[in-house]
Chains A and B, each alone.
Chain A
């Protein structure tokens, strides 16, 4: 697509429920990144994919968080047993390749509210 597409744009869920966030990167971009932005904070790096593989998952906040990418394209970020502190905007970005210095193209994010 023309840009990075994320869905849903907004999600309200009850504490304890699982949620799945989707990211559709720019066609041809091999690198995909997930970030979390809490209110008034900068962007917290979560995980990165080169193709379908995620070399380092240590940025994920807890074992309730998981992410996958299939076909070198769409990625999903899953949060199990959501907690109120998971409320944030989850941003996805993609880039042509692994060189972060080239800068990313971000999606508009998914605003997650856990009530």
Chain B
């Protein structure tokens, strides 16, 4: 089935640094979603990308949908302590619809060092 590969698996950064993470797939996705999961909570949708090449910002977050539709990146500028968590990329199967659920990557764990 379709798989999403996220890198890096974990990041240790200093507060105030910029963060960049990406997600790749061997198959085409028509939509890319980025979620964040805080400890003990379910994932929360951060950004949704619908068009190849699309660049979308949400506050300090910026995400882009790759031209090939096989990759996406998420950038966080000027990180703050509440950015800590696990970031997942996700996408619907190429068949579309909800019957197969979303495919999720294994996540990038962001840790901010004091």
Contact = CB atoms under 8 A, between A and B. Distances in A.
Q: Do A and B come from one complex?
A: yes
B114 interface: no
A61 interface: no
A94 to B, nearest CB: 11
Contacts of A59: 100-101
Nearest to A91: B42
Interface size class, chain A: 20 to 34
Contacts of A50: 98-99
Contacts of B43: 43, 91, 106
A99 B95 CA distance: 11
A93 interface: yes
Interface residues of B, number: 27
Contact of B45 (A48, A91, A98, A103): A103
28 contacts: A4-B42, A33-B98, A33-B102, A35-B104, A42-B4, A42-B106, A43-B88, A45-B100, A45-B103, A48-B100, A50-B98, A50-B99, A56-B100, A59-B100, A59-B101, A91-B43, A95-B98, A98-B97, A98-B99, A99-B97, A100-B31, A100-B97, A101-B92, A101-B96, A103-B45, A107-B42, A108-B42, A109-B41
